[in-house]
Structure 1
Amino acid sequence: MQIAKKITLLFAILSAVIISLLSGFVWYFSNEFAFEDFYKRLEARVNIAAQIKLYEDDNNSIYAKMRNQYLERLPSEREFIIDPKKTTSQVDRELPKSFYKKISSGAMARYRVDNHFYAGKYFKTSKGGYIVIISANDPFGFRELKDLQKILIIGFFLSIILSFVVGWKFSDYMLIPLRNIIKSVKKIKAENLHMRLDVKKGSDEMSQLAQTFNNMLNRLETAFETQNNFISNASHELRTPLTVISGEVELAMKPGQDLAQQQQALAKIKNEAERLEHILTSLLGLAQSGFNGKNQPWEEVRMDELLWEIKDSVNQVYPNSIIQIDFSKLPEEESLLTLKVNKNLVKLAISNVVSNACKYSNEKLVSIGIESNGQTLSIAVTDRGIGIPQTDIQHIFEPFYRASNTNAYKGYGVGLPLSLNIVRLHRGSIAIKSQEGVGTEIKIILPLFSM
């Protein structure tokens, strides 16, 4: 069953239960209080009848005249003056003992049989005690209850139908964002993983669902790009050192080679084997960064403290480099500096950027700045090195791609792509600004809060 039908059915059932309870409540209290006015009219007649029939008073004739003129006679109205000493029934029907018990306590008693009502009270006179009972029919009250019953039954079924229609429209309206998400997700395939869902402003479940899909697509896109890059580049990058090693082995195995030539061939084989090892290590690191990064635990990390660790580790590789950390824009609140990240991966990503800055700056100043705007935390690494030609900037994050002016520097073109993959896994981004011969600035932007 579709969610819309389930919501509609549940809405209709809940509405039926609520309307049933409300109708029962209305019916109960209407039934209890519908005849209250009629009982009061009977009780007034009981008092007047007692005054006229039981008490000798000069005003009795006036009471009788007023009763006849101003009190209309009720349908089937009868009055009974009962002497309690007589054992024979003096009423048109046998009334319950509870009725007489209430009368004997001095209170006004009430009783109803279908549409026939009784009201009675005990009066003490000089001649003795008497019970005055007035009975009458109330066709109007009963008719009103019957009409109310019909109205409640008809209203119940009409309300159920209306609640079903409203529930269907309501569920259809509420599920529009979900249908849009489904429609958008169906359009996304392996060849267009760059597409993202439209996330509406707010923190409702639909926005969270769309954001969750986008986060998943970020990871999938990274994984697919990593896989494609690995496949497309591995064969090319691995073939070159293997070809060299194979050629040198054949050369060393030729008869008549002297020891010096063999030593030279073995040295070349060793160098190419080391190069092959570096390439394999880089490829594996690049491939592993395409996963969700949760093979290692995520933890709360203060990024300013992490920058000191990165500075120390890079200085061990480039001891002559000058690395300066700029804390002038550091926020005072610790929460604006703390991120929940995979510390090892983030440290690797930033270290790659700082290492490149040191390597290509020829021992000139490398500045690391950290800044937070309340939503994101950015780390800017600026060098005064050789810079990147404008034609190469768009390819700089492609695996194994190296700028045209880096031939004099040893490298494999994996550091920045690896950093980009890691930053993407943390829902961040990397911006680059460079000018050849002037220097390069790479800014890593990470969200402060998990989405």
Structure 2
Amino acid sequence: MLIRNKLILRFTLLVLAIQLSFSAFIYYFHAATREQRFSQRLAGKGTMTARLLLRQPQSNEEALRTFRRRDLLTILDEQISIYDPEGHLIYTSDDGLSQRLNSYYLSQVEVDQPVQFTDGELEVVGIAHEYRGRQYRIFAAGRDQFGFLQLDKLRLILLVGNAGALVLIILAGWYFADESLKPMARVIEQVERITAGRLSLRVDEGNGTDEIAQLAVTFNQMLTRVEQAFEMQKNFLSHASHELRTPLATALGTLETSYAYDTNLSEAKTSTASAVDELKHLVGLTNALLALAKAEDASFRRDTVRLDDCLTQALSYCQSKYPHRHVQLIFGELPATGDDPFRVLGNEQLLTTALFNLLDNACKYSNQAVQVCLGYRGPELVVTVQDAGIGIAPTELPRVANAMYRAENARHAPGYGLGLTVTQKIAERHGGTLTLVSVPEQGTTATLVLPGT
């Protein structure tokens, strides 16, 4: 169901429920008022009749029973019965009236404690009346025809009014939903104009304060990240295609030339060696690209890993690749408790790759000793790799982690510009960070921070 229809339905149901509740309150209040008013009228009529009758001579019992009955009748189907203190019926407005219910409730009637009940369509009120020290009980009954007619009219008015109001509520709900969703419709219209070739477009952020504006701000921030990712991917593809094409073309050209012109084994070996070097470069670049793809995959399996074991393995790889480079390992601050420190939750192979990349860069761009420090900073594990090499210019430092990017002073050394990119991706996938501090001609310090377990 569309949000517009949901808003209309919910608005209609909510307002209709409030309106029906208010209508029910009005009807109940009016019905209770009618019942109270008619009961008071019956009680008043019964009291008035008793006062008139009880003033007559008590010896003339027949006259008391027939005293102007027709003149006292002012309520539709009025019935009045009077009982003396001993419970004997001394007056009734009609000799044919049934006294069954009156006799049943007779004992319940007390001073200031009237009783009310119904007898078919009649409403009955029983009250106590004191005359000359004697307590009489009076039952007055009748039908409130006018009151019920008013209730019927009120019910009809409420029914018609609610039916008409329902139509107005639906129209108001449609207007409310339409006005509420106009900013959303405007955002959708603007978003539909944004394509892969027009990522520079942005959504109007409106007043910048309401929820729609916050959504637009969030979407614009996402577009900025997407545009940056597209730009990085374009640059990556451009550099990668160039890096892949060059060794392939060189190797192919060398082999074709050797096949066409080399006439002896010595010349063929020289050409083959050149092609092998280019293919090795191609294999290294392919492996680096595969490592980057693996680092970008966030679905890898995570286990409890000892970071010191990963660092030991990376140091072993580095020592094999740079046998004449001195790499010093020191330990920083350690936790006061814990029998098994340096544990992280992650992938051992990826973490070893990240650490080796940092060591490889330090050894590649420095002829002096490299210092590696493993320790804790609060609950986090910290690995610091410090060299005294060529360093990185401040203008290039923010870009060295971009795929296929190489600093100007590092292009003479072998490499593909992917090591720091892979390391940063691995750090992010493990919930950590990679920071670089560098001074040209003085060296670089790379700090890898990972959450401990």
Specify the TM-score bucket, using the shorter chain as the normaliser. Answer: 0.5 to 0.7
Q: 1:439 deviation in Å?
A: 1.9
CA RMSD of aligned residues (A): 5.6
Aligned with 1:360 (options 361, 365, 369): 365
Evaluate the alpha carbon distance shift between residue 260 and residue 12 of structure 1 in structure 2; reply closer, same or farther with a 3 A threshold. Answer: same
Aligned with 2:289 (options 259, 268, 283): 283
Evaluate the alpha carbon distance shift between residue 289 and residue 189 of structure 1 in structure 2; reply closer, same or farther with a 3 A threshold. Answer: farther
Number of residue pairs aligned between Structure 1 and Structure 2 = 412
Q: Name the CA distance, whole Å, in 2 between partners of 1:39 and 1:228.
A: 90
**How far does the alpha carbon of each residue in 1:368-418 deviate from its partner, in whole angstroms, 9 at most, with x for none?**
68757x9x9997655432102456446534433333333553322221233
Aligned with 2:275 (options 269, 280, 289): 269
Structure 2 counterpart SS, 1:405: helix
Which 5+ residue runs of structure 2 have no aligned equivalent?
59-71, 110-114, 320-325
What residue is the counterpart of 1:400 in the other structure?
404
TM-score scaled by length of structure 2: 0.64
Q: Name the CA distance, whole Å, in 2 between partners of 1:377 and 1:183.
A: 48
Q: 1:7 deviation in Å?
A: 0.8
Q: Is 2:102–2:139's contact at 8 Å kept on the other side of the alignment?
A: no
Aligned with 1:435 (options 430, 439, 446): 439
**How far does the alpha carbon of each residue in 1:296-326 deviate from its partner, in whole angstroms, 9 at most, with x for none?**
24x4878xx54x3442232112233224464
What residue identity is the alignment partner of 1:31? Answer: A
What residue identity is the alignment partner of 2:366? Answer: S
The answer to which of 383-392 and 420-429 deviates more is: 420-429
Aligned runs of 1:231-380 on 2, under 5 Å? Answer: 231-250=237-256, 252-253=258-259, 257-287=263-293, 289=295, 293-294=298-299, 296-297=300-301, 299=302, 306=307, 308-319=308-319, 320-324=326-330, 326-327=332-333, 345=350, 348-349=353-354, 351-362=356-367, 363-367=369-373
Q: Is 1:252–1:262's contact at 8 Å kept on the other side of the alignment?
A: yes
What residue is the counterpart of 1:68 in the other structure?
none
Q: Is 2:106–2:137's contact at 8 Å kept on the other side of the alignment?
A: no
Aligned with 1:388 (options 368, 389, 392): 392
**How far does the alpha carbon of each residue in 1:17-39 deviate from its partner, in whole angstroms, 9 at most, with x for none?**
34324433542454245322431
The answer to which of 346-355 and 32-41 deviates more is: 346-355
Evaluate the alpha carbon distance shift between residue 352 and residue 92 of structure 1 in structure 2; reply closer, same or farther with a 3 A threshold. Answer: farther
Q: 1:279 deviation in Å?
A: 1.6
Determine whether 1:414 maps to 2:418.
yes
Q: Name the CA distance, whole Å, in 2 between partners of 1:190 and 1:447.
A: 37
Q: Greater relative contact order (Cα 8 A, min sep 6): structure 1 or 2?
A: 1
Q: 1:437 deviation in Å?
A: 0.5
What residue identity is the alignment partner of 2:370? Answer: K
Which 5+ residue runs of structure 1 have no aligned equivalent?
59-71
What residue identity is the alignment partner of 2:311? Answer: K
Evaluate the alpha carbon distance shift between residue 354 and residue 207 of structure 1 in structure 2; reply closer, same or farther with a 3 A threshold. Answer: farther
Q: Is 2:76–2:145's contact at 8 Å kept on the other side of the alignment?
A: no
Aligned runs of 1:125-136 on 2, under 5 Å? Answer: 132-135=138-141
Q: Name the CA distance, whole Å, in 2 between partners of 1:215 and 1:422.
A: 22
Q: Name the CA distance, whole Å, in 1 between partners of 2:208 and 2:381.
A: 21
Q: Name the CA distance, whole Å, in 1 between partners of 2:5 and 2:343.
A: 46
**How far does the alpha carbon of each residue in 1:322-341 deviate from its partner, in whole angstroms, 9 at most, with x for none?**
2446448x999xxxx99987
- Name the % identity: 26
What residue is the counterpart of 1:15 in the other structure?
15
Q: Is 1:230–1:287's contact at 8 Å kept on the other side of the alignment?
A: no
What residue identity is the alignment partner of 2:313? Answer: S
Q: Name the CA distance, whole Å, in 2 between partners of 1:196 and 1:370.
A: 43
Q: Is 2:374–2:382's contact at 8 Å kept on the other side of the alignment?
A: no
Q: 1:14 deviation in Å?
A: 3.3
Q: Is 1:42–1:134's contact at 8 Å kept on the other side of the alignment?
A: yes
Q: Name the CA distance, whole Å, in 1 between partners of 2:290 and 2:356.
A: 18
Q: 1:426 deviation in Å?
A: 7.5
Aligned runs of 1:40-119 on 2, under 5 Å? Answer: 40-43=40-43, 45-46=45-46, 49-50=49-50, 53=53, 80-81=80-81, 91=94, 99-100=101-102, 102-103=104-105, 106-107=108-109, 108-111=115-118, 118-119=124-125
Q: Name the CA distance, whole Å, in 2 between partners of 1:173 and 1:346.
A: 54
Q: Is 2:125–2:141's contact at 8 Å kept on the other side of the alignment?
A: yes
Q: 1:12 deviation in Å?
A: 0.4
Evaluate the alpha carbon distance shift between residue 367 and residue 428 of structure 1 in structure 2; reply closer, same or farther with a 3 A threshold. Answer: closer
